[in-house]
Amino acid sequence: MDFILASQSETRCRVLRNATVSFYNISPNIDEISIIKSLVNDGTPHSDIPNVLAEFKAKKISAKNIDSWVLGCDQILSLGGKVFSKPSSKKKLLENLTQMAGKTHQLITANVIYKGAKPMWRYTAVSHLTMYPMTQGEIQSFITNFWLEVQNSSAGYCFEKTPHLFSKIKGNWFDIMGISITQVLNFLHQHNYARTASTPKIAAVLGCPVSHSKSPLIHRHWLQKNNICGDYIAIDIPEKNFSNTVKVLVDVGISGFNVTLPHKETALNLAHSKTKLALEIGAANTLIVDSNGDIKADNTDGYGFISNLEANGGNWLPGAGPALVMGAGGAARAILVSLLEAGAPKIYLTNRTKRRAQNLSEELLGKIEVIDWDEKEKLLSTISTLVNATSLGMTGKPALTISLKTLNKKALVTDLVYTPVNTPLLAQAKNAGYNTVSGIGMLLYQGVPGFHQWFGVLPKVDQELIKLVTK
C-alpha cells in the first residue's frame, strides 16, 4: 500500500522524509486562490476553508489512486476577519505585513486523509502568532532580503527563516510548517503503516550571519547515518532579537541549539542552568532544552579541541610540556580552559593586542603567562603544543607570520582555522616534519555532545564525514 502526499510543498515533503515515512508526492494542480475567494464570498468560516482545500486535494489524487492513503494539507492565515493568501507580488507582501505587524494572527492548518476516494480522517490545528511592530523601512528591508523565500509561503513570512519577527507564539513547529505530523503518524500507526516513523526532533544553529555554517551538513549526516527521525536547520537571528527568539523556538518545540557569533555570551545568560565549563569559558555554544522547556547551557569548544588532538595527534599528551596559544578571542578562551583541565603544566598566551591577552589571563587565573606577540618564536624550543587560535591564515585574511625553525621537534602544531584545511602554518609544520592536526576536527567533535543530548545517539566522526565537510 502506498502513501501519497497531495502537494508539491517541499516543506511538507521534508517533514515526512525527516519522519522516515515512505511516500511520494503528486501535485493536485488546483486553483487555490480562486477557491479561497469563492469560499470567502460565500461566507465560509475561516476554520473551514483550509479543510475544504485539503479535502479537494486529497480527493482528486485519491480518485486516481484508489488503493493508496492520500494526505491533503492546506493552511491559511486569518487576521481581523480577513484571509491572507500567498503574496502575488512585493507590493501585496508589503500590504500584508503592514496589516500583520504588531498584531496576533492565526495560522489554520488542515490535514485530511482519503482512501478509495473517501475521507478517512481529518485534523485541524490553529496556531496563534504575535508579530513585533515593524516600521515601513523594516518591512521594505524584509521584502528585499526574503522575497525569494516567502513568495510561495501561505503566511508570507516563511517562519523557519524568520522566527525573529515574532514576540510570542502559541502553537507547534509542524503545524506552523503546514503539516500536523504527530497526528498524521498516529493515524498511520493505527492502520499499521509507517510503524517505525516518529515525529522528527528539530535542532538548529543560531548566528548572525549563519549561512556559512557547516553545522547543518554535519548534523544531517549524523541523522541520516543513524536513521534518526529529525532535522537540523540554520537560523539567522539579529542580535537584538536573540533571547526572545530562542524562547519562541523553545515554545514551538525545538529540542536544542548550537550557537555561534555573536550570540554565545547571551546564550549563556539566558539559560536556566549552566555547566561548569560554560561558566569558566563565559560563553555557551550549545543549548539543551528539557521536557519542561528549561534550557541548559554548555560549551563544547574545548571538548572538540581536546578530542580532535587525542584522535588525530598521534601520541600527543597535554601534560608533556607547556603550550603556546596565539590569539585571545572567544575560541582561545575555550582552548585555554580545556588545556588546563587536560593537564597542561603551563600555557604561554600571546595576542597582537597584548591587553586583550592580559585581560583573559587575569579572568582565568590559571597557569597562563602572557608574552609579547613579537616574542613568541623565542619560546618555541620549550613547548609541546602550538595552537593558532587567531583568524590569521584563513581564506581572505592576512597570513600568520611565524618561523618554526626552533620549534621543539616533538611538538604538535594545530590550527583552529579550517578554511583552508591545510593552512600555511600547518603546511610549514608538515614540511618540517612536525606532527600536525587540522582545525576541521575540532568543528566536528564539538558537535558530538549536543547531538547526543538532542537525538539520543552518540555520533561518530569518521572519514566519510570529514570528506563531506572538506570537499
Catalytic residues: 264
Neighbouring residues of 315: CB distance < 8 A, sequence distance ≥ 6: none
Buried b or exposed e, range 58-85, using 16+ CB within 10 angstroms:
bbbbbeebeebbbbbbbbbbbbeeebbb
Q: Phi first, then psi: what are they for 82, rounded to 5°?
A: -120, 140
Cα 102 to Cα 254: distance, rounded to the nearest angstrom: 24
As a whole number of angstroms, the distance between CA 12 and CA 74 comes to: 10
Q: Environment class of residue 223 by beta-carbon count within 10 Å: exposed (0-12), middle (13-18) or buried (19+)?
A: buried
Nearest Cα neighbor of 100 from 46, 167, 174 is: 167
For 80: left if phi > 0, alpha if psi spans -120 to 50, otherwise beta; the answer is left
- Which of 308, 213, 297 has the alpha carbon at shortest distance from 260? 213
Geometric angle at alpha carbon 41, from 36 and 45, rounded to 5°:
70
- Residue in the structure block whose three cell numbers are 476516494: 117
Cα–Cα separations (whole angstroms), residue 323 to 293, 306, 351, 358, 435: 41, 13, 14, 17, 14
Q: What is the total residue count of the chain?
A: 471
